[in-house]
């Protein structure tokens, strides 16, 4: 009896203890449960005072951090300036002491001095002696210093020859920096206030894309000259700028506008027979000179009577055409002289001495106008001479069209950098200098300008 009562008591006590443990566990879980994510974020997004104050505190903290960083940088800059000034003063004192003792290397004092009046006088004397300002009498043609022509991407040079490397990218950093710096200096001059005062009507601002081409050459005892051409206000307007770099800073020589609207070109072509080649020439002349340019006159000096009817039968129905027939043996020099003197207008026309197998473009006509100057400059273009097409394309059944043949490659031809038969010069210069000497006819059938 007693045992039963004891077992029942133990069971009841166990159940009570188990219930108390469960209650304690549940109370512990409720009391120690972490706040939910939504309950944490709700004060921030509720729009209340607590959210606004939190953001303002965060912004203030970041602003203080940035202000501290700026103050630190300002202090470092001030320290560096102070150290630089101290070092400069020490260097100046050292130079003064060395100069007093007479041990200063010659020319070192110019490193910390601006050009003096004597320096400017020296630079000006170099400019006056250079060929850019006054002509120089040369003993022979081998004493001529050739020009290099350059654009923003390429450099074309004659001194090393055009057989293997007709053009190059300026790989050397000093050469590349020199040409880029020259164009930048020219843009600074053209866009400067003084240039605006010289030409009040000009309202445009020049950029590197306006740069057309430039010429440069170095006279070893004087300096380097640069002639740069920029696009003007219209398609036929250009700006010509000449810069000179003595053994010192860059100097502006002159700047002028070039208007090519009224520059008429008289193309003179000596001809004998060859009606098929003349037909190709007329087709190119009609496309380039009549349709595109419109400021070109053609003078053909024909020798003999053979095939003259075939030449006349070729359609040349445009005003700017003159045919002169001579009953003489063919002579290129004679034909050029007769064609130049046959011009009866009062205008000092620009002459282009051409052959019937020349293929040129409208860009060449622009170069002819820009690079020839009456009484000062004669332009000799460098031609690309093609090999015989029947030999080049002998493995093909049909010859390619003329346009497809106009490809400049070493397999199809070579640069004729030793010939001076094609030239652009003004009629007055040709008459004053004298007649053109007789030239030997080339055996190569096609040329490209």
What does the pLDDT look like over 307-327, one tens digit per residue?
888 888 887 778 889 999 999
In this prediction, residue 211 has a pLDDT band, given cuts at 50, 70 and 90, of: very high
Burial class (CB in 10 A: 0-12, 13-18, 19+), 84: exposed
24-28, 63-67, 190-194, 306-310: range with lowest mean pLDDT: 24-28
- Average per-residue pLDDT in the chain? 77
**Three-class secondary structure of residue 38 per DSSP:** helix
How far apart CA 307 and CA 356 sit, in angstroms, is 15
Tell me which fold the domain 125-192+205-259 belongs to: Nuclear Transport Factor 2; Chain: A, (3.10.450)
In the chain, CATH 3.10.450 sits at: 125-192+205-259
pTM: 0.64
In the chain, CATH 3.90.550.10 sits at: 265-382+417-444
Tell me which fold the domain 265-382+417-444 belongs to: Spore Coat Polysaccharide Biosynthesis Protein SpsA; Chain A (3.90.550)
Residue 443 has pLDDT above 70, yes or no: no
Contact of 280 with 402, CB cutoff 8 Å: yes
Kind and range of the H or E element at 280? Answer: helix 275-285
- What DSSP designation does 381 have? P
- Give percent above pLDDT 70 in the chain: 74
Residue 448 has pLDDT above 80, yes or no: no
Q: Which two tokens stand for residue 392?
A: 């080049």
What integer is the mean pLDDT of 80-103?
A: 74
Tens-place pLDDT, residues 267-292: 999 999 899 999 999 999 999 999 99
């Amino acid at each position: 009896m007693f045992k039963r009562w004891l077992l029942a008591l133990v069971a009841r006590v166990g159940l009570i203890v188990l219930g108390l443990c469960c209650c304690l566990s549940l109370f512990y879980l409720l009391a120690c449960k972490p706040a939910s994510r939504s309950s944490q974020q709700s004060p921030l997004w509720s729009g209340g005072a607590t959210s606004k104050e939190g953001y303002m505190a965060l912004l203030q903290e970041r602003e203080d951090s940035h202000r501290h960083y700026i103050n630190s940088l300002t202090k470092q800059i001030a320290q560096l300036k102070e150290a630089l000034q101290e070092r400069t003063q020490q260097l100046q004192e050292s130079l003064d002491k060395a100069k007093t003792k007479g041990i200063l290397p010659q020319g070192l004092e110019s490193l910390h001095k601006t050009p003096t009046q004597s320096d400017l006088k020296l630079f000006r004397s170099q400019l006056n002696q250079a060929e850019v300002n006054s002509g120089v009498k040369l003993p022979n043609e081998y004493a001529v210093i050739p020009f290099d022509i350059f654009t923003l991407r390429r450099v074309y040079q004659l001194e090393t020859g055009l057989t293997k490397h007709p053009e190059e990218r300026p790989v050397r950093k000093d050469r590349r920096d020199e040409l880029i710096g020259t164009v930048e200096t020219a843009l600074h001059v053209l866009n400067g206030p003084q240039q605006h005062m010289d030409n009040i009507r000009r309202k445009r601002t020049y950029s590197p894309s306006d740069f057309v081409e430039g010429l440069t050459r170095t006279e070893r005892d004087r300096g380097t000259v640069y002639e740069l051409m920029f696009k003007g206000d219209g398609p036929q307007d250009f700006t010509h700028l000449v810069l000179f770099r003595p053994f010192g800073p860059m100097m502006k020589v002159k700047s002028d506008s070039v208007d090519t609207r009224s520059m008429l070109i008289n193309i003179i072509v000596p001809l004998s027979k060859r009606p098929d080649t003349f037909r190709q020439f007329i087709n190119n002349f009609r496309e380039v000179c009549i349709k595109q340019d419109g400021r070109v006159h053609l003078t053909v000096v024909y020798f003999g009577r053979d095939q003259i009817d075939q030449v006349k039968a070729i359609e040349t129905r445009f005003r700017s055409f003159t045919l002169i027939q001579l009953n003489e043996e063919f002579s290129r020099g004679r034909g050029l002289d007769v064609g130049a003197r046959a011009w009866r207008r009062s205008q000092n026309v620009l002459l282009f001495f051409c052959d019937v197998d020349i293929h040129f473009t409208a860009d060449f006509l622009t170069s002819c106008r820009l690079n020839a100057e009456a009484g000062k400059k004669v332009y000799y273009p460098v031609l690309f001479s093609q090999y015989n097409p029947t030999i080049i394309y002998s493995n093909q059944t049909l010859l390619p069209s003329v346009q497809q043949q106009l490809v400049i490659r070493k397999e199809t031809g070579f640069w004729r950098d030793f010939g001076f038969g094609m030239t652009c010069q003004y009629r007055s210069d040709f008459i004053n200098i004298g007649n053109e000497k007789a030239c030997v006819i080339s055996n190569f059938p096609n040329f490209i300008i």
